[in-house]
Amino acid sequence: MKSLASPPSLRLTPTTRHHLPSRQSSSACYPHVVSSLIKSNNSLSFSSAASGFASPLAVEKELRLETSAVRHVTGSLIRGEGLRFAIVVARFNEVVTKLLLEGAIETFKKYSVREEDIEVIWVPGSFEIGVVAQKLGKSGKFHAVLCIGAVIRGDTTHYDAVANSAASGVLSAGINSGVPCIFGVLTCEDMDQALNRSGGKAGNKGAETALTALEMASLFEHHLK
Active-site annotation, residues: 158
Distance (Å, whole) CA 105 – CA 41: 46
What are residue 47's DSSP bridge partners?
Answer: 36
Alpha helices (runs of H) in the chain, residue ranges in sequence order: 56-67, 94-110, 129-138, 158-177, 191-196, 205-222
- 116: helix, strand or coil: helix
Phi, psi at 118, each rounded to 5°: -120, 130
Residue of 128, 127, 145, 148 lying closest to 207 (CA atoms):
148
Phi/psi for 29 (5° steps) reads -60, 150
